[in-house]
Amino acid sequence: MSSSSSFIALAKRCAPSLLARGHAFAPAALSHRAALTTRSRPTQSEALPAMPPAIEDEPLSPPTFLQSVNHFFTRAASLTDIEPGLMDVIRACNSVVQFRFPLRRDDGSVEVLTGYRAQHSTHVLPTKGGIRYAPDVNLQEVKALAALMTYKCALVEVPFGGAKGGVCIDRRNYSTEELERVTRRFTHELHARNLIGSGKDVPAPDYGTGPQEMSWIRDTFSQLNPGHMFTAGCVTGKPVGHGGIRGRQSATGLGVFYAIRTMLDQPNILKQVGLSSPGIQGKTFVIQGFGNVGYWTAKFVEEDGGKIVAIGERDGIVYDREKGISIPALKDHLMGNNGSVENFTNEDSPTVRVIPDTDLICGIECDVFVPAALESVIHGDNADMVKAKIIAEAANGPVTADADEILNERGGIAIIPDLLANSMGVMCSYVEWSKNMTGMRLGRLTKRFEESHGRHLVDVLESNGINLSKQQKNNVIAGADEETHVRSGLEDTMIAACEQVVDIAKEKNCSLRDAAYVKALESIAGHYSRAGNWP
């Protein structure tokens, strides 16, 4: 049976798997793909419930992003004791809005654009999720991303529900003035539908948007709500001078780095993938995508002693196994060559190659592969090419459901799932939102006190004959500024989440992805159980 038809067979049995308690699940130790595709038809006594409304479409080949998310949800649900009706509530998308609005172009013409906003779960408020500007934004995509955001927030204990939005445009075809008009009108449309506000729904940057668009959103919302005390909290990812927070730009990539580093310190993970030594030092890395997340991940990995042997970009792969890719050199080259890797010399390395076929990125041998750009990079047709020992999903949905089944069945590989690996973007957004709600910069009340305490400690040490170097004195005296607070919070959160996921995976004999979903689902179910069902 092909991987595609195998996935279809699996999905037909697994999609409605919020089974009644008497239903038999395949043991967690077995491959779900193998167990479910060979399972016999249910008997009358264990008839499956009707397909829940959260899944509208028959499984496709390859699976869509939404189908993959629902499949992962269902697979993890089989490992919990959560009541099936409650599981239906958790999975269903609470609301999704599609609307159209006009844009006056610079040449005077009018273009009608399509926008979306999905709120997957309102079990806690506000909901939270990015806004992307891309020509292929669609209803299914924003629903999948909103669901993933719900599970991501629950996993790392950020008190937001999941949301996502977007506008169908290719921003390269619009002037700065046109993008401002698009953003302000999109904000107006959200406001008219009660879909934005510091206690309702808080957007953030995503693919095709950044701090400038978030600044326009805040300004538009402020003008629509004069006198509102917490307008800064209506959106995150803003420039520092307009209510943003230091450390936001590197947060997601730094989180990916923390996730990889933590997993490489777990003895059972090292044993599973066949690595003999812990830590990033000396490990080989391949990174697909050198945008914001890919760049910062690569930068922190390189600084910690990892060797990046290949980086894939839109027009090719730069490959240098002997020397390793110089991250500063590649950044400078891309900035000076309109984002093209063509003619990259890697600091005049004689062993560097530029490979035009970007599809080959998955087949490069390495210890850690980091897909940091696109969805569905690894799918059923190329999963067998993967030669990495660990996949760290810096992008959302880079491994499809059928590919995930193939890789799990093959064994010897660990996948750090997207809802864990790239979750520090929303964690940093939570810190920014909290700052906006209090109006207080992190470290403002403590930095000088900590420095004074450090000076006193240095004086005590030196009065007792212990002399410190200048650098040592500076390290002891330094008080934590805002970015230090942010990085400390991201590191603590990621380490705790990774260790919890590893423990669950060991307890239930399941993959890291299943374990991450189990923790998220049990957290959300616990909230519903405590809050009750009202009205």
Output the known binding site.
128, 152, 252, 292, 429
- Distance, in Å, from the CA atom of 189 to the CA atom of 210, rounded to the nearest integer, reads 19
Tokens of 426: 């929303």
- Distance, in Å, from the CA atom of 332 to the CA atom of 313, rounded to the nearest integer, reads 14
DSSP tag of 395: S
In 42-192, the DSSP E strands lie at 95-104, 110-119, 127-133, 161-167
**Cross-strand partners of 318:** 311, 354
Of 143, 164, 435, 447, the active-site residue reads 164
- Distance, in Å, from the CA atom of 525 to the CA atom of 508, rounded to the nearest integer, reads 18
Cβ(101)–Cβ(185) under 8 Å? yes
Give the residue ranges of the annotated binding site for NAD(+): 252, 292
Single-letter residue type at 509: N
Provide the edge-to-edge strand list for the sheet that holds 353-355: 353-355, 316-319, 307-313, 284-288, 366-371, 388-392, 414-416
- Is residue 164 part of the annotated active site? The answer reads yes
**Cross-strand partners of 205:** 131
- Distance, in Å, from the CA atom of 319 to the CA atom of 307, rounded to the nearest integer, reads 12
DSSP per-residue letters across 489-534? HHHHHHHHHHHHHHHHHHHHT--HHHHHHHHHHHHHHHHHHHH---
- Distance, in Å, from the CA atom of 60 to the CA atom of 472, rounded to the nearest integer, reads 60
DSSP tag of 163: E
Single-letter residue type at 80: T
**What are the C-alpha distances in Å from 127 to residues 169, 219, 465, 523?**
24, 20, 56, 16
Backbone angles phi, psi at 217, to 5 degrees: -65, -45
In 3-147, the DSSP E strands lie at 95-104, 110-119, 127-133
Tokens of 463: 């009065």
- Distance, in Å, from the CA atom of 254 to the CA atom of 292, rounded to the nearest integer, reads 11
- Distance, in Å, from the CA atom of 380 to the CA atom of 387, rounded to the nearest integer, reads 15
SS3 category, 469? coil
- Distance, in Å, from the CA atom of 91 to the CA atom of 139, rounded to the nearest integer, reads 16
Cβ(277)–Cβ(350) under 8 Å? no
Give the residue ranges of the annotated binding site for substrate: 128, 152, 429
Cβ(151)–Cβ(191) under 8 Å? no
Cβ(238)–Cβ(474) under 8 Å? no
- Distance, in Å, from the CA atom of 84 to the CA atom of 77, rounded to the nearest integer, reads 9
Q: Is residue 365 left, alpha or beta, with left meaning phi > 0 and alpha meaning psi from -120 to 50?
A: beta
Q: Which amino acids are annotated catalytic?
A: 164
